[in-house]
Amino acid sequence: MNITTLSSKMEQLDTYKRYGRIKRVIGLMIESQGPKASIGDVCYIYPNKEEQPKTFIPAEVIGFKEEMVVLMPYGDINDISPGSLVENLGRSLEVKVGPALIGKVIDSMGNPLDGTSLPKTLTTVGTEKKPPNPLSRPPISEKLEVGVRAIDSLLTVGKGQRIGIFAGSGVGKSTLLGMIARNTNADINVIALIGERGREVREFVERDLGPEGRARSIIVAATSDQPALMRIKGAFTATAIAEYFRDKGLNVMLMMDSVTRVAMAQREVGLAVGEPPATKGYTPSVFAIMPKLLERTGTNHHGTITAFYTVLVDGDDMNEPIADAVRGILDGHIVLDRELANKGQYPAVNVLKSVSRLMSHLASKEHQQAAITIRELMSTYLNSEDLINIGAYKKGSSAEIDRAIHYYPKILSFLKQQTEEKVTLDTSIQSLIQLAEKGEL
């Protein structure tokens, strides 16, 4: 670099530091007089107003009120007092990422939760990015193995597809994610645990994910006790990490549990800044942020991000606002049924209520026909189940129902899978075809 170029770059540098002072704190909101800032800028709040100490509280600019800058903290605000110094860093949130991060559990800011320091070989990336240009997305044409028989055979997923897992609490979402993380043939897993109980994070890592899954996973955890902004940023941090590895040419598996809690956190932020509650208390910004987050995954010319987003449905209502909005954005949905779980069917995938919008483009004609046959048999049996159970149906009255009664126990056996059982994609498809054609497993 010559002297002229260096001099030009130095002249473009902003060497000023901008400061402000805390004026008011109301609930989640912090109002500051100054500094000059833009929406999304990260600021440091120094609790001691007399001098700038080493400790600080990170916060983000979320709005403006008259001449005041409205901030929301990433951490605890107990030490903040009127007059506390506010420094604007002049950038949005950034995290460090790289292959050396694999196997670690980090928070929304990218810091390891076990207290260790980050490796020095990592690259700094911003968490706020725009979704890829629609015309720059290559079509999805290759199947992805997830290692779960019910999904691989009847709800085939493609590399770069985005799927929602819809279920009420306690129906097996985390267990299913753990199975997928261990069994998939994706190059790397990025797992975001948003709004989880603190107890569940370690249990998921050690029990559901296990050493095999953790060895090729990066886990981002933002527990339910953390501020709303940390829970939102956890989702964006995990997505940014997945984008980094996608741009390196890898096939990435992103799993987020759950996108509903991201929406709830955004509702807290929206209400705090004065947004009007719209559908069931959710503010307009919730429905604006969902597409911006979910559309960032998928394919580009370098690699793919296959995404599984869990959606926690209140009272098992599949039509509540967040579930409805997310279902309209994603490329398919897997419904976990509480009634099936109560009957001991795991994973409790309700095949008839689930759909993969890309399966028709990915599966062979033989595979598609087998899937249609199994769905028809299940539908026929379930429509006549009450008559069959009370003995009102007489064998021979309908050849179709007789065939469904013969097949149904074998279909249930096919759909059941132990959590530690791994089944390849080809084995699942061949088993489905054999079951549909010959009634054999």
Q: pLDDT tens, 197-232?
A: 888 888 888 888 888 888 899 999 999 889 899 999
- Provide CB contacts within 8 A for 435, sequence distance 6+: 370, 374, 407, 410, 411, 414, 441
Q: What share of the chain is helix, strand, coil (3-state, %, to 5)?
A: 40, 20, 40
pLDDT of res. 34: 82
pLDDT of res. 51: 53
pLDDT of res. 329: 92
Lowest average pLDDT, out of 9-18, 106-115, 152-161, goes to 9-18
Average pLDDT along the chain:
88
Q: At what angle do helices 399-415 and 425-438 cross, to 10 degrees?
A: 160
pLDDT of res. 77: 81
Q: 206 versus 7: which is more confidently predicted?
A: 206
pLDDT of res. 4: 61
The candidate with the shortest Cα–Cα distance to 204, out of 164, 255, 158, is: 255
State mean pLDDT over 182-190: 92
Return left, alpha or beta for 401; rule: phi > 0 is left, psi -120 to 50 is alpha, else beta: alpha
Q: 319 versus 310: which is more confidently predicted?
A: 310
pLDDT of res. 140: 92
pLDDT of res. 59: 92
pLDDT of res. 132: 87
Task: Kindly tell me if the per-residue pLDDT of 10 is higher than 60.
Answer: no
In eight-state DSSP terms, residue 94 is E
pLDDT of res. 168: 84
The full DSSP string for 20-76 is EEEEEEETTEEEEE-----TT-EEEEES-SSS--S--EEEEEEEEETTEEEEEESS-
pLDDT of res. 242: 95
Q: How far is CA 148 from CA 144, 214, 355, 435, in A?
A: 11, 18, 15, 17
State mean pLDDT over 341-367: 92
Return left, alpha or beta for 90; rule: phi > 0 is left, psi -120 to 50 is alpha, else beta: left
Q: Name the pLDDT band for 196 (thresholds 50, 70, 90).
A: confident
State mean pLDDT over 404-414: 91
The candidate with the shortest Cα–Cα distance to 220, out of 230, 208, 229, is: 230
Q: pLDDT tens, 36-57?
A: 899 999 999 988 655 555 688 8
